[in-house]
Structure 1
């Protein structure tokens, strides 16, 4: 059976993050991630909880290897990663993304249609 250190590494690779990026998202150093992945130390409960909250990881999978890796669909996790990347690279988009998150589905369909038209020009 796979050990927690292997699931840490598998998760990080699934998220397409290096150890430094993974640690930064969790407010820990690259060394902490490296030490966990090589089995030098066991992850603390606080870090496990942070991983599960930040990346929507199934805690039972991370700790015991049971169930699916993610609580949400992979698409939701990818969307969260994309939004994080966009907001990090262009902070002026944050207010727009915030407004989009407050729209109902009918309004989002209209916005999507408008964006399609703009992109076709």
Structure 2
């Protein structure tokens, strides 16, 4: 089962973005992206919503892995 951070990493990679480019799109730091992808930090609801809107991915899938 993929983790929340794993799903966010998948979105980033499917959009062919580096962590730096992804961070820039989201207006967050690259270390924050790294920590989220590695499960050391949990993204805020606002950040998950932004990722969902920018990358056209269902918010519930990001949060739970379910469509």
Q: Give the TM-score range, shorter chain.
A: over 0.9
Mapping for residues 1-121 of structure 1, pairs under 5 Å: 1-67=1-67
> Cα deviations across residues 53-106 of structure 1 (Å, max 9, x unaligned)?
111111111111012xxxxxxxxxxxxxxxxxxxxxxxxxxxxxxxxxxxxxxx
- Structure with higher Rg: it is 1
Alpha-carbon distance in structure 2 between the residues aligned to 1:55 and 1:5: 15
* 8 Å contact kept, 2:11–2:55: no
Paired positions, count: 67
What is the Cα deviation at residue 43 of structure 1?
Answer: 0.7
Alpha-carbon distance in structure 1 between the residues aligned to 2:56 and 2:44: 18
| TM-score, normalised via structure 1 length | 0.53
The list of structure 1 runs, each at least 4 consecutive aligned residues, that deviate by more than 4 angstroms after superposition, is none
Structure 1 residue runs of 5 or longer lacking an equivalent are 68-121
Q: Which is bigger in relative contact order (C-alpha 8 A, separation at least 6)? A: 2
Structure 2 residue runs of 5 or longer lacking an equivalent are none
> Cα deviations across residues 5-50 of structure 1 (Å, max 9, x unaligned)?
1101111100100100001001111111001011111111111011
| TM-score, normalised via structure 2 length | 0.93
